[in-house]
Amino acid sequence: MSTIAIFGSYVLSRRDGAQEVLRDHWVLLEGRQIAAVTRDRPSATEVFDRPGRFVLPGLLNLHNHCFSEAVARTHTEDGNGRRNNQSIVYTVLLPLTKRGADLLSPSERLAIARLGILQLLKGGATTVMEPFRNTIPEMFDAAEEMGIRFYGAPYLFSTSDAKAGPDGVVRYAGDDGQADMDTWNVLYQRWNGRGDGRIGLAMSPHATDTCGPDLLRACAARARELGVPITTHLAQSQAEVATIAGRHGGRTPAEFLDWLGLLAPDLMAAHCIASTDSDLKLMAARGATVLNCPRVFARSGVTAAFGRFAGHGVRTVVGTDGYNMDLLGELNAASMISKIASARADVANAPELIESVTATAAAVIKRPDLGTIAPGATADLTVVDLTHPHLQPLFDARRGLVALGNRANIDLVIVDGRVLIDAGQYLHGDETAMISAANAAIGKIWDLPEAQAAFNG
């Protein structure tokens, strides 16, 4: 059995259920498990003895869209693509990922998927949940090949072509999601449990305005039958709120899901920015989780404050959504935006935010073996180099991490006891070749007339 010893000037441990930062300890990995946390240098096959490192449980990023992010990258900044101030979800992301999935070959889709997984790993995540179109199964191939812990969440829609009309409303005839459910079941049979258990599926009805009641109920029933997580987009915009109120008797999106029986502890609801205070109280009472991705909204001038959700008692975790894939940077944004929104310096503090991507996130997906550094836990670790000039001098490792850290400080990423990132570089593939192949594939989408129209609309 291979063994790895990692020295941490700081090690994020736990005592009596709370975070504790240990100084100058070693973490010993044996195979796929953490064997010990000790002051004494252990004997090991491989030793990482680098002072100034902060050894963290492997970070969990439970909401990202790395394929669609690549399609839109640098095109949708500064308001581009927002026709009539619509969300780019329906004007750019969904239409162009659908077109790209149809246009590109499997090898080209795989190239884009590899680039996405590479970014997620270099951003410090060991576990990710990725909602994506079910016509891009290569996301699973890339995840298995590159070693990340991956919950694939192929979308289910009540329409085969989810896009908004000029008024911003997504319409569909009837509730025709059975084809997507059939595809989801095929992918579940093929992929769930692959990669020595690293690969799993989540049930992902896309959103309240793209999925009808019958499909949403069917998704919940199937997910609960199999014991897999459920994730969806909820209250992403005021347009969605108006659509749901018009369709479903004045209900808000949260009330709509509660009416259907989906608002429960197994639901992860992304964004929720247009939720009312009453909605958030309802979500807290039902035990649902908010997936908070502040930066993607901040770039469009919208506040998505971690502190608002957490302040209402809603279990809240931080993800990157389809923007940047830098989980440490996202924690910084969650902190800053919450402080601005509340006019308080003490909200969304560093320990709380670190908890949101470690122990809390692990609890959301019912994986107590993740998100913690303790003997018997799974050997997933994220190690951050705190010796950079912008992190020195350092008094408090957690505050330094959240206030000043970013993806450039990621030193080691270990999943299942296997080192994937060392000194910030991916060990099991040629990064330059990956980037080149993905750029060529994305370029084919960018050259499409409909892409130019979408970006410049």
DSSP symbols for 377-433: SB--EEEEE--SGGG-S-S-HHHHHHHH--GGGEEEEEETTEEEEETTEESSS-HHH
For the ranges 72-76, 85-89, 151-155, the lowest mean pLDDT is seen at: 85-89
Helix (H, G, I), strand (E, B) or coil at 194: coil
The pLDDT value recorded for residue 81 is 67
User: Where does the pLDDT of residue 452 fall: very low under 50, low under 70, confident under 90, or very high at 90 and above?
Assistant: confident
State yes or no: pLDDT of 353 exceeds 60. Answer: yes
For the ranges 61-70, 141-150, 350-359, 369-378, the lowest mean pLDDT is seen at: 61-70
Give the mean pLDDT of the chain.
Answer: 93
Query: What's phi and psi for 5, nearest 5 deg?
Result: -115, 130
Side by side, the strands of the sheet bearing 315-318 are: 230-234, 267-271, 289-292, 315-318
Q: For residues 64 and 320, is the Cβ–Cβ distance under 8 A?
A: yes
How many CB atoms sit inside 10 A of residue 181's CB? 16
Question: Per-residue pLDDT tens for 360-385?
Answer: 999 999 999 999 999 999 999 999 99
User: Where does the pLDDT of residue 397 fall: very low under 50, low under 70, confident under 90, or very high at 90 and above?
Assistant: very high
Question: Per-residue pLDDT tens for 204-218?
Answer: 999 999 999 999 999
Question: Per-residue pLDDT tens for 268-314?
Answer: 999 999 999 999 999 999 999 999 999 999 988 999 999 999 999 99
Tell me the percentage of the chain whose pLDDT exceeds 70: 95
The pLDDT value recorded for residue 174 is 57
The pLDDT value recorded for residue 172 is 64
Strands 381-385 and 410-415: antiparallel
The pLDDT value recorded for residue 221 is 98
For the ranges 51-55, 94-98, 254-258, 431-435, the lowest mean pLDDT is seen at: 94-98
Stated pTM of the model: 0.95
Question: Per-residue pLDDT tens for 75-121?
Answer: 777 777 666 556 677 777 777 888 888 899 999 999 999 999 999 99
Q: State the average pLDDT over residues 308-323.
A: 96
The H or E element containing residue 439 is helix 431-446
Measured CA angle at 218 (ends 213, 219), to 5 deg = 100
Q: State the average pLDDT over residues 35-44.
A: 97
Largest Cα span, the chain: 66
Q: Which structural domains are found in the chain, ordered by start?
A: 3-57+379-426 (2.30.40.10), 59-364 (3.20.20.140)
Question: Per-residue pLDDT tens for 162-185?
Answer: 666 666 676 665 557 899 999 999
Say which amino acid occupies 293. C
User: Where does the pLDDT of residue 219 fall: very low under 50, low under 70, confident under 90, or very high at 90 and above?
Assistant: very high
